[in-house]
């Protein structure tokens, strides 16, 4: 392994905590980012010579803070630049800093940083874009290509979002215990949003964007390490692991969608599945069910089935029933209907769909499911109508192609 | 004499590794492992899942089960068991039986496992 690669990984890992601590100090996103970048440059110079520091995060915070202060002084022409020796001598100060930065401060910093990115008045895509820029350190170009917009447009969006954040006074306050719990919920939602952006792209040619999913999982694990007893964070991380485990099987060689039943289960990533299943069990022990845990539980039932016909659909039906209770939504009912069709047949499922016609009138999957159920019941003409409505609502080429395939089967 | 070689690293860093880097690290270790296996000197090898999957059973009158990995810096690693369990609960049950009246046992699932050649 090359040194640069090793240092690159160390910097990526330290970034959320280091930027968060620098932000607490400077209360300015741009200054905090620049300070971290400067510290990273110095790490590239210093670490190969002096070896890696014991606590890379603390080193980066210390050096970043000093370099930003130097930069300010230099701009104000009050003082001359101290040379690198002073900073290299930082080992002593660094230790003191580590002692002050106890775990709870780290926790609050990262949480605050993530929370800053998910302020309610920002649109969801901007929340994700800022989080990818600030927390994950992706370049504007990388983020732009993930969202399929021009680099200039994305740069403008991020600048606008940063300005909104800076103008908001709440962002930099230290949260109290109640607020912290609320923030964690918001942050979890943002991480899941990021995952979904990767798992089921909201537009364009690419149906799955693996790097976004992987980044969301990394953030989930990070949150879980900060809050090891939060069953919903366990659930969220498990859910993402279990969904992402199927990534390689979800599209065929021609980038067509492959449904769960038709997927080659040998392509499922067993390591991710095993980790997800342990987290589901760990969360269940705490006896505080929540929406992520239940969704992870459903994903776990699928993951445990070696063949499609081994799937315990009755259990999936029950889990969706619980989900309907704690988070009633037409989309949840639609999903439950799919499970019901396997347990009690297509007619029973179709009945459940009736009250959903109004709220899901613009929802691609509603018409996809409806068409499939009608097809199973031998009502080909009605199925054709539903499939055509689905095609009109498809957001990606893969979605549309999948429904067309169903239509072709109907016409045979 | 049997020697146990324990691998330590910063988890958050390893999670940020690129696929190429991960593969390069594994390839290098595999060369050494192959050599040892050919000489009949390789016992079981395992890679643990992230600490986020860990639980800890701490000795007390009623063994305490805690979320998260073993985190006490004063105590040292004394040994390990490798057990086959159907569930986390079953593994915790084993750990409760083992824990005695001092110390802690971390229960962490394995991500990968090679049985080795069966040392004598």
Q: For residues B117 and B69, is the Cβ–Cβ distance under 8 A?
A: no
Angle formed at CA A17 by CA A162 and CA A104, multiple of 5 degrees: 115
Q: How far apart are CA B93 and CA A149, in angstroms?
A: 53
Residue A220 token pair? 């989930």
Residue of B nearest to A270 (CA): B111
Q: Is B15 on the interface with A (CB under 8 A)?
A: yes
Band (pLDDT 50/70/90 cuts) for residue B111 is very high
Pairing assessment for the beta strands B55-58 and B64-67 based on DSSP bridges: antiparallel
pLDDT at A28: 82
| Distant-in-sequence, close-in-space partners of A182: CB < 8 Å, separation ≥ 6 | none
Q: Does B88 touch chain A (CB under 8 A)?
A: yes
Q: Is A15 helix (H, G, I), strand (E, B) or coil?
A: helix
C-beta atoms of A9 and B21 within 8 A:
yes
pLDDT at A86: 43
**pLDDT tens string B6-49:** 998 888 778 877 788 889 889 999 999 999 999 999 999 999 99
Name the pTM for this structure: 0.79
Select the residue of B53, B67, B88 nearest A229 (Cβ to Cβ): B67
ipTM at complex level: 0.85
Nearest residue in chain B measured CA to CA from A272: B111
Among all residues of chain B, which has the CA nearest to that of A55?
B10
CATH class (in words) of the domain with range B11-114: alpha beta
Per DSSP, helices labelled H in A200-307 are 210-226, 231-244, 247-250, 270-285, 291-304
- For residues B30 and B38, the answer to whether their CB atoms sit within 8 Å is no
Q: How far is CA B110 from CA A165, A241, A271, A302, A408, in A?
A: 42, 16, 9, 21, 46
Largest CA distance in chain A: 83
What per-residue confidence (pLDDT) applies to A170? Answer: 59
DSSP label at A312? -
Kindly list the domain boundaries of chain B, sorted by start residue: 11-114
Residues A119/A109, Cβ–Cβ less than 8 Å: no
Nearest to A275 among B10, B14, B49 (CB): B49
What local confidence, expressed as pLDDT, does residue A139 receive? Answer: 80
Angle at A131 between CA A293 and CA B54, to 5 degrees: 40
Chain A residue numbers with beta carbons less than 8 Å from the beta carbon of B15 are 13, 218, 221
Nearest to B88 among A222, A271, A282 (CB): A282
pLDDT, tens digit only, all 412 positions of chain A: 456 677 887 888 888 888 888 888 888 888 888 999 999 999 988 888 888 888 888 899 999 999 999 888 887 765 555 554 444 444 444 444 444 444 555 566 776 777 777 766 778 778 888 888 887 777 888 778 777 778 898 888 888 888 887 777 555 666 666 766 777 887 888 888 888 877 775 555 555 677 778 888 988 998 898 888 899 999 999 999 999 999 989 888 887 788 888 999 999 999 999 999 999 999 999 999 999 999 999 999 999 999 999 999 999 999 999 999 999 999 999 999 999 999 999 999 999 999 999 999 999 999 999 999 999 999 999 999 999 999 999 888 888 888 998 888 887 6
Higher pLDDT, A24 or B4: B4
- Of B13, B50, B67, which is closest to A10 when you measure between CB atoms? B13
User: CA nearest B45: which of B120, B116, B110?
Assistant: B116
Window 18-57 of B, Cβ < 8 Å to A: 18, 21, 24-25, 49-53, 55
């Amino acid at each position: 392994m090359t040194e640069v690669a090793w240092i690159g990984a160390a910097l990526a890992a330290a970034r959320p905590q280091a930027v968060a601590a620098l932000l607490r100090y400077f209360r300015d996103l741009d200054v905090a980012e620049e300070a971290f970048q400067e510290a990273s440059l110095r790490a590239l110079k210093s670490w190969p010579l002096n070896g890696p520091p014991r606590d890379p995060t603390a080193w980066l915070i210390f050096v970043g803070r000093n370099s930003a202060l130097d930069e300010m002084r230099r701009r104000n022409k009050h003082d001359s630049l101290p040379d690198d020796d002073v900073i290299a001598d930082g080992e002593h100060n660094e230790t003191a800093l580590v002692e002050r930065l106890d775990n709870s401060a780290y926790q609050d910093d990262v949480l605050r940083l993530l929370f800053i990115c998910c302020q309610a008045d920002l649109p969801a895509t901007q929340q994700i874009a800022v989080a990818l820029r600030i927390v994950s350190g992706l370049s504007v170009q990388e983020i732009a290509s993930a969202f399929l917009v021009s680099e200039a447009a994305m740069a403008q969006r991020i600048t606008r979002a940063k300005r909104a954040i800076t103008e908001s006074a709440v962002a930099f306050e230290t949260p109290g215990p109640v607020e912290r719990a609320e923030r964690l919920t918001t942050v979890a939602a943002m991480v899941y949003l990021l995952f979904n952006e990767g798992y089921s792209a909201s537009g364009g040619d690419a149906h799955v964007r693996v790097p976004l999913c992987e980044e969301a999982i990394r953030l989930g694990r990070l949150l879980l390490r900060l809050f090891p007893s939060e069953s919903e964070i366990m659930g969220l991380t498990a859910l993402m692991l279990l969904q992402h485990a199927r990534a390689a099987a979800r599209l065929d060689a021609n980038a067509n969608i492959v449904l769960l039943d038709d997927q080659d289960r040998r392509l499922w990533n067993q390591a991710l599945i095993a980790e997800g299943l342990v987290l589901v069990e760990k969360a269940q022990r705490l006896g505080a069910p929540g929406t992520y845990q239940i969704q992870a539980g459903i994903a776990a039932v699928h993951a445990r089935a070696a063949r499609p016909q081994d799937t315990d659909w009755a259990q999936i039906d029950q889990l969706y029933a619980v989900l309907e209770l704690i988070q009633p939504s037409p989309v949840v009912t639609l999903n439950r209907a799919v499970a019901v069709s396997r347990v009690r047949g297509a007619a029973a499922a179709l009945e459940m769909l009736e009250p959903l016609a109004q709220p899901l009138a613009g929802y691609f999957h509603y018409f996809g499911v409806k068409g499939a159920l009608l097809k199973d019941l031998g009502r080909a003409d009605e199925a054709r109508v539903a499939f055509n409505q689905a095609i009109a609502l498809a957001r990606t080429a893969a979605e549309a192609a999948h429904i067309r395939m169903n239509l072709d089967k109907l016409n045979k | 004499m049997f020697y146990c070689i324990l691998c330590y690293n910063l988890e958050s860093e390893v999670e940020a590794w690129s696929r190429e880097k991960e593969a390069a690290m594994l390839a290098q270790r595999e060369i050494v492992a192959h050599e040892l296996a050919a000489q009949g000197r390789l016992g079981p090898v395992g890679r643990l899942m992230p600490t986020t999957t860990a639980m800890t059973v701490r000795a007390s009158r009623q063994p305490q089960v805690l979320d998260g990995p073993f985190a006490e810096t004063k105590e040292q690693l004394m040994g390990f068991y490798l057990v086959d369990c159907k569930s986390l609960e079953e593994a915790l049950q084993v750990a409760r039986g083992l824990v005695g009246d001092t110390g802690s046992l971390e229960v962490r699932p394995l991500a990968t496992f090679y049985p080795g050649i069966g040392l004598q």
